[in-house]
């Protein structure tokens, strides 16, 4: 048996999307090995869920945020002779460590994402990471933080970049014009996608807004489209009023996945000058659509965006550097097109879901055989 533990799978967000990818590959690998796969989620509802990721399908059960019930289910499952268990988030490390007590021969793999391991975790979670047989990180930057901040031996850390969502690949062929939201503006559009949360101001939505006045003096047809949702929308709207750019900033919420894919196709530039991305699925999505991308020169983003090749890296909170990078792309559309094509080619080579799936299966096989 193989066990997958996840905080939440039935929700939007990069961690949840990565969890669904991990669970799908776990289930597919177990089936190929003639083993049973049990997927457990802490925060999802208790009924049986069925999820499709590309050509793979998996089922899982939730625990309705009941930690005691979730832990009990994990321990009972481990005692049934589990060969390997994978935790989709370091917060679940202590549960994984407890499973190792009742199933000492079971291999334990813990996945990290980024900012959650950039500072020392609690003693229990840090100890669980250090005792795992393997800790996976989506970038070398996050892997380095796992070693320096959590004290995990480097020999037990592996780098596994996330892959482009298969469903997004399918939507790329949809009729974009009919899928575009009615409020999507005409003109030269800079797109950003991400949650608007007070706790996630590190994503740099405010810097995009403050950089806009400089751009409008030369390109009055430029618009900024923010796709997302969150409790910080009012603050961002006030910022557009303060900078006098409210007519050029558009907040789009509650979009369908097809509409979001269409927004990528219709924009000219994608930008998310974040300082807290361990990887960044949105960069992959924009690159897959052949768009030049601008990201923060922090975290795992430099491992996704090749500065000067597929886009530009900027310092978080620097509207002048951000505006200069956008100006360079607006002033030379052919240069921007070549950057977008470079990014698209890199996604094809390195970040397709099949590449991620093959790499994870190899890791699982090595753990099981060892």
Q: CA 125 to CA 91: how far, in whole Å?
A: 6
Q: Report the mean per-residue pLDDT for the chain.
A: 96
Give yes or no for a contact between 151 and 345, defined as CB atoms under 8 angstroms apart: no
Per-residue pLDDT for 175 more than 70? no
Q: 176 falls in which pLDDT band (50, 70, 90)?
A: low
Sort strands 56-62 and 48-53 into parallel, antiparallel or unpaired. Answer: antiparallel
Q: What is the pLDDT of residue 370?
A: 81
Instruction: For 281-300, write each residue's pLDDT tens digit.
Output: 999 999 999 999 999 999 99
Residue that has been written with the tokens 């009615």 in this structure: 182
Instruction: For 113-143, write each residue's pLDDT tens digit.
Output: 999 999 999 999 999 999 999 999 999 999 9
Instruction: For 55-71, write each residue's pLDDT tens digit.
Output: 889 999 999 999 999 99
Q: What is the pLDDT of residue 121?
A: 96
Q: 178 falls in which pLDDT band (50, 70, 90)?
A: low
Q: Where are the beta strands (DSSP E) in 23-164?
A: 37-41, 48-53, 56-62, 84-87, 107-111, 134-137, 157-159
Sort strands 293-296 and 249-252 into parallel, antiparallel or unpaired. Answer: unpaired
pTM above 0.85, yes or no: yes
Average pLDDT over residues 183-206: 96
Instruction: For 11-50, write each residue's pLDDT tens digit.
Output: 988 999 999 999 999 999 999 999 999 999 999 999 999 9
Average pLDDT over residues 79-93: 96
Instruction: For 296-329, write each residue's pLDDT tens digit.
Output: 999 999 999 999 999 999 999 999 999 999 999 9
Q: What is the pLDDT of residue 319?
A: 97
Q: Percent helix, strand and coil across the chain, each rounded to 5?
A: 50, 20, 35
Q: 169 falls in which pLDDT band (50, 70, 90)?
A: confident
Q: What is the pLDDT of residue 170?
A: 82
Q: What is the pLDDT of residue 105?
A: 95
Q: 213 falls in which pLDDT band (50, 70, 90)?
A: very high
Q: What is the pLDDT of residue 115?
A: 94
Domains of the chain: 2-163+353-369 (3.40.50.2000), 167-351 (3.40.50.2000)
Average pLDDT over residues 182-194: 96
Q: What is the pLDDT of residue 172?
A: 76
Q: CA 334 to CA 357: how far, in whole Å?
A: 34
Q: CA 165 to CA 13: how far, in whole Å?
A: 12
- Kindly tell me the number of DSSP H helices and DSSP E strands found in the chain: 14, 14
What is the number of residues in the chain?
370
Per-residue pLDDT for 177 more than 90? no
């Amino acid at each position: 048996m193989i066990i997958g533990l996840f905080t939440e799978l039935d929700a939007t967000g990069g961690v949840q999307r990565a969890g669904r990818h991990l669970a799908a590959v776990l289930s597919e690998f177990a089936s190929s090995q003639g083993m049973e796969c049990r997927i457990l989620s802490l925060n999802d509802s208790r009924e049986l869920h069925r999820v499709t990721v590309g050509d793979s399908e998996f089922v899982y059960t939730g625990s309705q945020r009941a930690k005691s019930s979730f832990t009990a289910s994990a321990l009972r499952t481990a005692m049934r002779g589990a060969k390997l268990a994978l935790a989709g988030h370091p917060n679940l490390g202590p549960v994984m460590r407890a499973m190792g007590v009742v199933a000492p021969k079971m291999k334990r793999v813990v996945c990290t994402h980024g900012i959650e391991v950039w500072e020392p975790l609690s003693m229990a979670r840090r100890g669980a990471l250090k005792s795992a047989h393997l800790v996976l990180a989506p970038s070398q930057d996050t892997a380095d933080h796992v070693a320096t901040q959590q004290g995990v031996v480097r020999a037990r850390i592996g780098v596994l970049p996330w892959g482009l969502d298969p469903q997004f690949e399918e939507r790329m062929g949809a009729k974009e014009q009919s899928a575009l939201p009615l409020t999507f503006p005409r003109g030269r559009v800079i797109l950003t996608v991400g949650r608007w949360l007070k706790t996630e101001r590190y994503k740099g939505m405010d810097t995009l807004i403050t950089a806009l006045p400089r751009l409008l003096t030369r390109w009055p047809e430029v618009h900024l489209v923010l796709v997302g949702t969150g409790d910080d929308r009012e603050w961002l709207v006030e910022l557009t009023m303060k900078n006098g750019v409210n007519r050029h900033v558009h907040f789009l919420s509650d979009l369908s996945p097809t509409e979001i894919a269409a927004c990528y196709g219709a924009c000219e530039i994608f930008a998310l000058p974040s300082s807290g991305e361990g990887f960044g699925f949105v960069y992959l999505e924009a690159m897959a659509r052949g768009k030049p991308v601008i990201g923060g020169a922090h975290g795992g983003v430099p491992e996704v965006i090749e500065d000067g090749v597929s886009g530009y890296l900027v310092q978080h909170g620097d509207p002048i550097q951000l505006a200069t990078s956008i100006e360079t792309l607006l002033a030379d559309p052919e240069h921007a097109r070549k950057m977008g094509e470079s990014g698209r080619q890199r996604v094809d080579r390195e970040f397709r879901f099949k590449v991620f799936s093959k790499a994870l299966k190899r890791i699982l096989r090595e753990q099981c055989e060892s």
